Structure 1
Amino acid sequence: MSSTVNEPSVVDGGAFTVRRSILISAPIEKVWSAVSEPAHISRWFGRAVLHGSGVGAHGTLTFDGGRAVPVRIEHVEEPRVISYRWTNDDARDVLPEQVDVEHSTVVTFTLENASGGTRLTVVETGFETLADPAADLETHRTGWNVELDKLVDLLEGAS
């Protein structure tokens, strides 16, 4: 278990966003790998499969007991910023690896050097395009708390 304690995710209902900023006692390169490389993403988030790399790379995220969620890389500024668009609205019927641009959210990971490690800020936007924005905002707020705590434990335990 890590010793770092971070604040929980925050929902901005007016802007339809979920945000969480955490400190990880690990170098920026290690955090970058954890949020940008499928093999590392699969260790803390969901089983990640990406075809290609960089902007436009696409694939799926599969969570325990869940369906494959289509995902695509939207923006990269290595090793500081990476954004993924994902179709995560269960009300939408999409083909595997086909991101539904009109009914999806974008999650952006921003990394900064910080005293004692790396400051990682995650902002997910676009909930207004989903079938039940209020429920999805709350589900993702809770989800980012759990998933990012797993990331901290993984990286600090392996430091």
Structure 2
Amino acid sequence: MTDNQPSIVDEAAFSVRRTIRIAAPVAKVWSAVTEPEHISRWFGRVVLDGAGAGAKGTITFPQVGAVPLQVEAMDAPRMVSYRWGNDDAAGQVPDTVDDRSTVFTFTLVPVSDGTQLTVVETGFDRTSDPAANMADHAEGWVSELDKLVALLEGDA
């Protein structure tokens, strides 16, 4: 499996970033980060009411339950942004994306050995405890994206 660096927390920008390499073509990575049936194999169980920007639904995690999810923007096969209402430090998950929600964006770039994927999550300044949420999500992106790499490289 490709060895990737951990997430970077930018406290001044209230953001978390992680860039990884995956030994798989962009088309395969794109499907894995945009199609609910594929996202559900490595992240959380995703249900959306449509495809593309504006689609709404949930991403469900066993330890948290259903978290509201909305596709904010899409530029296939280069970028997709999602807004989710998962203010971990608040102790409860809202029913819809709200003013405490954060946005995470996946950017895909073809490289010689596959795909470089960068995730940037922003908006932590609006959460109940920015430092705690950034730390939690920095760890979460390591865990979740490592599962994505294992899945895609195992299927390669």
Provide the TM-score with structure 1 as the length reference: 0.94
Q: In the alignment, which residue of structure 1 is the partner of 2:12?
A: 14
Shift of 1:99: 1.3
Q: CA RMSD in A?
A: 1.0
Q: In the alignment, which residue of structure 1 is the partner of 2:142?
A: 145
Long gaps (5+) in structure 2 = none
Long gaps (5+) in structure 1 = none
Tell me how far apart the structure 2 counterparts of residues 147 and 59 of structure 1 sit (CA, whole Å).
Answer: 19
- SS in structure 2 of the partner of residue 151 of structure 1: helix
Shift of 1:93: 5.6
Q: In the alignment, which residue of structure 2 is the partner of 1:57?
A: 55
Instruction: Check whether the contact 2:105–2:120 (CA below 8 A) recurs between aligned residues.
Output: yes
- SS in structure 2 of the partner of residue 35 of structure 1: helix
Shift of 1:65: 2.7
Provide the TM-score with structure 2 as the length reference: 0.96
- SS in structure 2 of the partner of residue 43 of structure 1: helix
Instruction: Check whether the contact 2:85–2:93 (CA below 8 A) recurs between aligned residues.
Output: no
Counterpart amino acid of residue 13 in structure 2: A
Q: In the alignment, which residue of structure 2 is the partner of 1:124?
A: 121
**Residue 28 (1) aligns with residue 20 (2):** no
Shift of 1:64: 1.8
CA separation of 1:93/1:61 partners in 2, compared to 1, >3 Å: closer, same or farther?
closer
Counterpart amino acid of residue 57 in structure 1: A
- Residue identity over aligned pairs, in percent, reads 60
Tell me how far apart the structure 2 counterparts of residues 45 and 93 of structure 1 sit (CA, whole Å).
Answer: 17
Shift of 1:94: 2.6
Counterpart amino acid of residue 128 in structure 1: D
CA separation of 1:149/1:93 partners in 2, compared to 1, >3 Å: closer, same or farther?
closer
